[in-house]
Chains A and B, each alone.
Chain A
Amino acid sequence: MSALAQTGRVTGGRASWAAQTAEVCRRWTVDLVRQPWGLGVSVIQPVIWIVLFGNVFESIATVPGFGPTDYLTFLVPGILMMTVLYSGAWAGTGFIEDIRSGVMDRLLSSPVSRSSLVAGQLAQQLLMATVQGVIVLGIGWLAGARYDGGVLGLVVALLASLLLAAAFCSMSAAVALLARDQTALIGISTIVVLPATFLSTALMPVALLPDWVETVARFNPLTWATEIARTAMSTDVDWGLVASRGALLTVLAAVVAAWSVSAMRTYQKSL
């Protein structure tokens, strides 16, 4: 096997950005599947939420001002968004692990596009969010929630959840690349995610929120995504609301994704 190094040149040209992104996505997907513990938790979590919140807050539906829907049907879109939010907040941990282990060094010293490292990981996160979303909707259905908006409504709801996931995964990735510390990432994620949940309409209709919470909730991406899903999954879809909140989420996701790519460059400059 002599002169292996000379005969082994494998690159004809250079891998396309799409091919690199796909390969990065594939790597993270294999990693995820080989950690059944993490995969299991991300599936069990929404089940617990639906059962827990569904029972604890069931009586809210009887409060005047709640509206005609039953609480579970009201709750499922909120749980859908919370699920991708909580998973997305952890997205950056993979980068921190790569930085710690030396994988990041190896990738950054090779001719791999920096943005494909970020985009490939995001693509894997969105794949996972889609699977989770379908599971949440399925569990909700089994528990008794009804989706009057039909298949189109479900697809719109899932797309909204993906926009929300893209924004939060990118935020987590950016924080991970800037802070480079698991504890910091967990701390920041918790500080952002928990208030975001309660300062939104995910669990509680707007009419029942205190005034100041209602004001904050109006600017909360979690509210935007939940509003899209709720109306799209109802009999009387407000397409204007879907379009306006969809536009807000799209802009947010794009801005945060750009931030995460720039964080990758900032990380390298700090070396």
Chain B
Amino acid sequence: MPPHAVEAAGLVKTYPGGRGRPDVRALDGLTLTVPAGTVHGLLGLNGAGKSTTTRVLTTLSRASSGEARVAGHDVVRDADQVRRSIGYVSQGTGADVLLTPRENLAMTARLRGASRSASLDRAAALLDRFGLADAADRRTGVLSGGMRRKLDVALGLVDAPRVLFLDEPTTGLDPEARASMWNEIRRLAGEDSLTVVLTTHYLEEADRLADGLSIIDRGRVVAAGSPDSLKAAFAGDTLTVDLVEPDAALVRSVAAGIAGLGDVVVHVEGPVGRLVARTPDGPAVVGPTIAALQAAGVRHGAVGVSRPTLDDVYLRHAGRSWTAAESVPTSGTTSDGSAAAAAQTAEVAR
């Protein structure tokens, strides 16, 4: 095994726009390195390019340009070798709902060259491992979402891959099933020293699971490192003030006058808003900030000070707030609204 499970450089992927529209550039020079034996998170919003990256690395899609190696094999020239070295759990189910979990697992093993008895042994071992033994002979279609997702992961592990790709493994799961899935993923990395590449748009998931992170925005990696190192780049605290019917421009000008506030973001959605700012000393600026806002006639709600989160990291590198950017379809705009930045509901004023 080479030191890196995944090495990708300059990946570009364009899709035809159709009906005279310009091409869609899903990947725009993406570069990525994943050390073997780690859990690596690809963190980004829907449409950022995470899934496309995964599809290129699993040989499903071919990049328009750029190169990638997985488990030491080129994804285009040695596609078959890559396919033998990986497991891929897509966003969809991946299992045949009319077959039982046991049949799904055994079929997968058979397709990969196992004898009938070896395929059944392997299926039994994986069913045990994922706590699916009781459901092994029921139709996959009637299982709970959490059980089906575990089966999907088990299907990815049938042939003992060296790299396992998980595309949004916990999307749509209830909190209990999600916690259970997180345990499984951690176990895979720990006990089985597998390399896991997972995409997620849950900050908490990335924070909890990933040894290394690549934050992806608009088809590029905008920041990479461990969650801690990414957060450590931010000395100090985050100040958050909930606002009632705010005038964004006014709030911004007030905030600009307060000593010790930086990276101010004012996000307005309907009648409510939020001021988020970076500060070297959170407790010290709470008083002056409230006083200044009240003096300017801005009504506010809860005021909070917190240690940096991945949301802050994302804010810095992608130029927009995570929670703000997630609520794009229902967005309000800031009062000096830059119409061009349609995807942005918050603006960074530095």
Contacts and interface: CB of A to CB of B under 8 A. Distances in A.
A22 to B, nearest CB: 9
Given A1-B125, A103-B96, A106-B155, A271 B55 contact: yes
A110 B94 CA distance: 12
A59 interface: no
Interface string A17-57: 00110011011001100110000000000000000000000
A95 to B, nearest CB: 13
Given A102-B90, A105-B90, A8 B112 contact: no
Given A1-B129, A9-B160, A101 B93 contact: yes
Nearest to B62: A269
Contact of A101 (B61, B83, B97, B119): B97
A77 B50 CA distance: 55
Nearest to A1: B129
A147 B91 CA distance: 54
Interface string B225-254: 000000000000000000000000000000
Contact of B99 (A9, A27, A102): A27
A110 B59 CA distance: 9
A271 B54 CA distance: 12
A191 interface: no
Interface string B75-88: 00000100110101
A3 B158 CA distance: 13
Contacts of A26: 107
Interface in A226-271: 268-269, 271
A26 B84 CA distance: 23
B264 interface: no
B99 A4 contact: no
A61 B60 CA distance: 58
B198 to A, nearest CB: 15
A106 B90 contact: yes
Nearest to A105: B90
A10 B98 contact: no
A216 interface: no
Contacts of A100: 92
A20 B60 CA distance: 19
A4 B113 contact: no
Contact of A109 (B59, B107, B191): B59
Given A23-B111, A101-B93, A30 B103 contact: yes
B344 to A, nearest CB: 30
Contact of A11 (B97, B114, B129, B155): B114
A271 B60 contact: yes
Contacts of B126: 4, 8
Contacts of B107: 23, 26-27
Contact of A31 (B96, B108, B192): B96
Indicate the member of B83, B98, B111 with the most A CB atoms within 10 Å: B111
A10 B125 CA distance: 12
Contacts of A269: 62
A4 B157 contact: yes
Contact of B194 (A5, A19, A31, A35): A5
Contact of B111 (A6, A31, A110, A271): A110
Indicate the member of A3, A20, A106 with the most B CB atoms within 10 Å: A106
A11 B159 contact: yes
A27 B98 CA distance: 10
Indicate the member of A8, A12, A100, A108 with the most B CB atoms within 10 Å: A8
Contacts of A19: 110, 113
B137 interface: no
Contacts of A111: 80, 83-84, 112
Interface string A94-122: 00000011110111111110000000000
Contacts of B80: 111
B118 interface: yes
Given A5-B161, A9-B160, A109 B86 contact: yes
Contacts of A107: 111
A30 B98 contact: yes
B112 A110 contact: yes
B112 A11 contact: yes
Contacts of A102: 90-94
Interface in B32-73: 55, 58-62
Interface in A46-88: none
A251 to B, nearest CB: 31
Contacts of A213: none
B98 A106 contact: no
B113 A109 contact: no
A102 B211 CA distance: 28
Contacts of B158: 8, 10
A34 B125 CA distance: 26
Contacts of A13: 113
Nearest to A269: B62
A101 B140 CA distance: 13
Given A4-B129, A15-B110, A102-B90, 15 more contacts: A4-B191, A4-B192, A6-B193, A10-B114, A15-B113, A27-B96, A30-B98, A101-B92, A105-B90, A105-B92, A105-B94, A109-B86, A110-B112, A110-B159, A271-B60
21 contacts: A1-B125, A7-B160, A8-B157, A10-B112, A10-B118, A10-B119, A10-B159, A11-B113, A14-B112, A24-B111, A100-B92, A101-B92, A101-B94, A101-B97, A102-B93, A105-B90, A106-B155, A109-B60, A110-B159, A268-B60, A271-B62
Closest 10 CB pairs of A and B: A102-B92, A5-B192, A11-B113, A15-B113, A10-B114, A109-B88, A8-B160, A106-B94, A111-B83, A109-B58
